[in-house]
Structure formats: structure tokens, C-alpha cells
Amino acid sequence: MEKENSAFTLDDKKVYFFLILACFLVYANSLSGDFVFDDTAQIVTNQTLESWKNVINGFTKDVWYFEREAGSTNIPPPYYRPLFTLYLTVGYQFFGLWAQGWHLLNLAIHIGATVLVYRLFLRLSSENRTLSFIGSLFFALIPVHVESISWISGIPDPLAALFYIPSMLFYINWRESGNKKSLIFSLLAFFGALLCKETPIVLPAILFVWELTLNRQKESEKGLISAVKQVVIFVVPVLVYLAMRFSVLGKVSWRHPFISQTPTEYIYATIPYAFVYYLKNIIFPFDLSLIYDTHFVKGGDDPNLWIPVVILLVLGGLIFYFRKNITPLMWLSLGMFVIPLLPVLNLQVFHYEYIVQDRYLYLPSIGFVLLLAVLLEKLWKAENAMLHKIAIAATVILCLGYTLGTIKQNRMWNSAINLWSRAIEMKPTSWSAYYNLGLAHQQNKEYEKAIEDLDTSLKYQSFNRQDSLIYNNRGLAKKELGKTEEAKKDFLKALETDPKSIQALTNLGVIYFDQGNFVEAENQFKKGLQENASDPFVNYNLARTWAKMNRHKEALSIYEKLLQTTRNNPELMIDAAISYSAAGQKDKAQALLNDASRFTKDEKLKQQISEELQKLK
């Protein structure tokens, strides 16, 4: 490809400025967003982030280990992403629960990835700055990235890009210069990408395509064998990564429990449907959602089987027909889009409502925007003045459309209510969308709305295990409305479905506690401890119950352990102080009450602390 006209005044500094400015402009309204979806568990309630020891846990345990150790059953299958755990730990140490800081950090990662995309495009296009700028600008703006940027926990893909792209750049430098240090850096960067997320494992295949396309023109030795010889060294980091992954997870892959009854042939038959859905979302990235109205193929006559197959056959035919017009850079662009999608077409690992997820388009979009830029640049340089104008108009329209689409999409991720309301628009029969919307209303103390959403969730869900979660949370909403007996019925209903539900056992125990039935409350909490002896919430409530039964020494045996593991909880401090006072240890009681006073702004708690201090006098 020819280098651009030297009269063109766009230099690298200006490109960096425009790219950074573009990222800030389109994501400015994401900075006010809340913690949503997995953020609550991964950051807000994740006490492991308080310690730097969690960095080691990232390498020796799966991403959700802290939920498993807490006895939670409502968690996804295991993931091995050590650098994501490192990211969360570092982020928490800097920002704590300041959501805006986290959003700025996510945006900084995206800016870094965008600049790297520009550097990669420069290298692939023989320093064609115009093409590289247009392609990287599209990358900065395209709305399919919102899920990865505006959702804090969606960062693994952009984080992986910070290693994935340099690995490509170092590899190309090695092949062109023979510098072995570049090969080492490429391998290390590739390994870093794998520690962020699983999907970059296909990078050697992309380098293989680069060998067969762009580099084939320069090599005297041609063919598949030559290309294989160059990339085979990347098997080493892959094997090391898989060994680490297997040692922690005990498996390389898995099948999601929610599709255990789905025939394997239906799962494989759904792959064309998922691929075409991804294709639709990246070509028309303006009607996006966390959940889509997707399902696995249900048989040979299912339109979700034959319509995508027809579309793919037509696309394949067009590519074959125009194959002589496809340049090496265009072939590489296609490979850079298709190959990174292959790992996420392993549909057996996904919940049936999450067959398609926009964040998985982050790495493939590098190839897509490069292809777009190559096609537009062809029109841009055409001698026909009309084609030149069309290229300019198309570039402007795409930039404006992407900008408005991203700004609009950011609003969806701004709050849990917006997120799940949008999901319901896309899939009105989704039990999980209504369930999560109910939780969001509950968090906002809109209990009547929460009950209405949870009722609808019960109507659509088809897994008995989920009944327990829904009944439990509906009971909590009714309890807040003062409907104690109705709440008790919901907790009992939850236990009918899942007798081992720690949440339902504990919440039922709290009902008995509030009614003064401490014996039955103690019974429920002990059942909860049989399921998970270390659960802090169950232990705390059992200690409170023993204190009400004047068994303060037993209560203190729990309070003292909780005080060691739970930081700055004024309610725990007050309750422990009351038991210390009753046990005659007034100095410890006073010290705890003084600490509690420093850690709370709640006026009711401050009043209670004042009353307890007065009693000590």
C-alpha cells in the first residue's frame, strides 16, 4: 500500500490528542455511573480486595473464589484471570467504593488500547497515517465497547488488549528485524493477555494469518509450513497458561449447569446463529443490551439454524466471488475479526440468556474497524470525485453515529434500573432480568415495585433453584413494608425449594428474632451454620440472639472473631460493646463504642452509642 501524501499535516501527536479527546467525549457521561451487575459482588461487598494478599489469590484461585468460600450458590462457573484480580485489588486500594474513580480507570485502559490500535494499524498499513487514524478513531467510538468500558467488571477484554496488541507489534518487529528480544517481549505480552482473559489464546492463529498475507510478500520461502514454523514457539506460553489454569480450576473448560439438559447437537447447531448475531451487532451497533432474546436451536426446523446458515453461505460466496479484489491487509482484517470470536463460540460454557455478549467483540472489533478503514481509504483515494465525497460522508456519518450511539448506550449502564429495564425491553420473558430489576428497586427502597418485578420473575423462570432466590428476596421486600407474616411465608417457601438456602434460613431467623422468639431464631441460625460455618452474617445474628438470651460469653466468642475480619462496622461494634459491658469488661466496651462513633454518620446509631456510653458511667 502506498504511503500517504507527505503534504498531509496529521502527525502522531495530533492523532494521540484527537483519539484521547474522542474517548473522553463519548464516555464522559459514563463517569457518573453506579456499581452495577457483577460490580456489587466483585467490588462493593468483596472484602478480599482490602488486602494486598488478594494479588496472590488471583494466581492461586479462581475469580469468584470469595463467593464460593462464603457459601454462595448463585455464582458463575470458575474463571482464571489473575491480572483481572490484580486490577480489582489495585483499583480498590486507590479508589475504594468511589465509583467515579473506577470508571476513570476503565476509561484510561480504553484510551491506552486505542492508542495501541493506532500504532498497530500504522505498522500493518506501512505507516499509512490517514487509514490508521480513521480505523483507531472508529475503535475509540464504536458503541459495542460500552459494555467493556462503562461496566467496571467488563474490563478484562480492554485489559487483555494492552498485552494482546503489543504482542503483535513485537512479533512483527522480530520478523522484520530479527531482534530476538522482540520475540521474547512478544511471548511475555501474549502470556500477560492470557492472564487477563481466555480469549487471546487464539493470537498465534492471527500471527499465522499475518505470515500468510502481509509477510508472504516479503518472504522468499512461502507456504503454510513456513508460517507454522514461525508461530509454533507460542505453544510454550499456551501450555504454561493451561497448566496454571488446570492446577487452579481442575479443568480447562466446562458446561454451564443451566444448559445441562440441552442436547449437545443443539448447542453446536447454535454456533452460526451466535456468529451472525455478533456480526449484526458490530455492523449495526445501535440496539444493544446486556441480555438479548437468544436461545439455543431447538431442532432442524428452527429458523435460528437455517437462516444464519444461509446468511453465512451468502457471505462466503461473496468473499469467494470478490477474492481477487481482496488485498492482503483486508484478508488479515477478516482474520483479526473472525479468529478472536472463535473461543466465545464455545457456547456450552454460557448461560442460555448470555449466548451473545457485546464485550466479547472488543478484540474482534480491531479487525472490523481496520477493514472499514481500508474500504473507506480505497474510496478516499479514488480518482472519481464522487467516490471521494462518499468516503468523506461515510466517515463523518459513522463517527457521528458511533458517538451518539455510545453516549446513549452509556446511560443504560448508568444504573441497575436502567440496565435491567433495557434487558426486559429486549427479552420481555427473561426471569433473570425481572429478578435483577426487582433487586435494583429493592436497593432503592422501592419495595412495591420490587415485589411486582419478583412476581413477574416467578412467572417466567423455569429452574426450581431460582425459586428460592426469588422468594427470599420477595420476603425481604415484604419485611421492609411491615408485612412480617407474608415475609415469613416467603422465606418458608424458599426453604421448601432449597432447604439449604443460607439466605432464607438467616432471614427467617431474623423474623423470629424480631418477634422475640429467640429459641427458634437460634435454631434457624444454627441450621445456616451447618451449611457454612464461616458465614459472617449468620454468625453475627447468632451472636445477637445469644446476647438477647443473656449468653454474652458465647456471643463474645463470635463477636471477637468478626471484629478481626470485619472492618469499621459500627453496628457490630455496638453489639459487641453491649456484650462486653454485660460481661463486666467495661473498658473494652467503651473503646468499641468510641470507635463506632468515629465510623458512623447515622444519627440513630450515634444516639444509641451515646446512650450506651451513658450506661457505662
Angle between helices 271-283 and 303-321 (to 10 degrees): 60
Q: Given the C-alpha cell 470485619, which residue does it identify?
A: 566
Residue-wise pLDDT for 274-311, tens only, equals 999 999 999 999 989 999 988 899 888 889 999 999 99
Q: Is the pLDDT of residue 406 over 70?
A: yes
9-28 residue pLDDT tens = 778 899 999 999 999 999 99
Lowest mean pLDDT among 47-51, 91-95, 223-227, 426-430: 223-227
pLDDT at 464: 59
Q: Percentage of the chain surpassing pLDDT 90?
A: 71
pLDDT tens track for 301-353: 889 999 999 999 999 999 999 999 999 999 999 999 999 999 999 998 888 88
Reply yes or no on whether the pLDDT at 262 is more than 90. Answer: no
- Asked if 136 contacts 114 with a C-beta cutoff of 8 angstroms, the reply is yes
Name, of 364-368, 390-394, 574-578, 609-613, the range with top average pLDDT.
364-368
Q: Report how far Cα 326 is from the mean position of its chain's Cα atoms.
A: 36
Of all residues in the chain, the percent with pLDDT exceeding 70 is 95
Distances, alpha carbon 526 to alpha carbons 505, 517, 564, in Å? 9, 15, 21
Confidence (pLDDT) at 73: 60
* Separation CA 171–CA 177 (nearest Å): 10
The sign of the dihedral angle between the CA atoms of 192, 195, 200, 205 is positive
Q: Is residue 445 part of a domain?
A: no
pLDDT digits 0-9 by tens, 43-66: 998 989 988 999 999 999 999 888
555 pLDDT higher than 90? yes
Tell whether 528 is covered by a domain.
no
Asked if 124 and 389 touch (Cβ cutoff 8 Å), the reply is no
Give me the pLDDT at residue 398, please. 96
Q: CA 35 to CA 136: how far, in whole Å?
A: 29
Whether 2 shows a pLDDT value over 60: the answer reads no
Decide if pLDDT at 3 tops 70: no
In a domain, 333, yes or no: yes
Average pLDDT over residues 84-111: 96
Cell 461515510 belongs to 394
The radius of gyration of the chain's CA atoms, rounded to the nearest angstrom, is 28
Residue 608: predicted pLDDT:
87
Helices and strands of the chain, counted as H and E runs: 31, 0
Residue 156: domain span: 12-412
Q: Which three cell numbers stand for residue 501?
A: 438456602
Domain count, the chain: 1
Residue 609 lies in a domain: no
Q: Identify the pLDDT of residue 600.
A: 82
More confident residue, 70 or 486: 486
The pTM (predicted TM-score) of the whole model is: 0.89
What pLDDT score was predicted for residue 384?
79
Is 266 within the bounds of a domain?
A: yes
DSSP for residue 40? I
Q: Mean of the per-residue pLDDT values for the chain?
A: 91
Give the C-alpha separation, 152 to 158, whole Å.
11
Q: Using DSSP, state whether 395 is helix, strand or coil.
A: helix
Contact 281, 422 (CB under 8 A): no
The Cα–Cα gap between 615 and 269 comes to 71
> Dmax of the chain from CA atoms?
94
Q: List, for residues 310-319, the tens digit of each pLDDT value.
A: 999 999 999 9
* Domain contains 430: no
Measure the CA angle with vertex 414, ends 409 and 419; round to 5°: 70
Contacts of the segment 350-353: beta carbons below 8 A, 24+ positions apart: 350/256, 350/259, 351/76, 351/256, 351/258, 351/259, 352/256, 352/258, 352/259, 352/262, 352/294, 352/295, 352/296, 353/291, 353/294, 353/427, 353/430, 353/432
Residue 513 placed within a domain: no
575 falls within a domain:
no
pLDDT surpassing 50 at residue 4: no
DSSP codes of every residue in 87-143: HHHHHHHHHTT-HHHHHHHHHHHHHHHHHHHHHHHHHHTTS-HHHHHHHHHHHHH-G
Residue 28 grid coordinates = 464522559
Which of 149-153, 187-191, 374-378 is predicted with the least confidence, judged by mean pLDDT? Answer: 374-378
Range of 73-77, 171-175, 568-572 with top mean pLDDT? 171-175
For 521-545, the pLDDT digits (tens) are: 999 999 999 988 888 889 999 999 9
pLDDT at 533: 87
The pLDDT tens digits for 558-577 are: 999 998 887 778 899 999 99
pLDDT tops 60 at residue 409: yes
Buried-exposed string 11-42: b where 16+ CB fall within 10 A, e elsewhere: eeeebbeebbebbeebbebbbebbbbbbbbbb
The DSSP letter of residue 70 is T
Picking from 142, 136, 191, the residue whose alpha carbon sits closest to that of residue 163 is 191
pLDDT confidence bin for 382, thresholds 50/70/90: confident
Angle between helices 156-177 and 82-95 (to 10 degrees): 120
CB 536 within 8 A of CB 528: no
Tracing cell 444504573 back to the chain, one arrives at 415
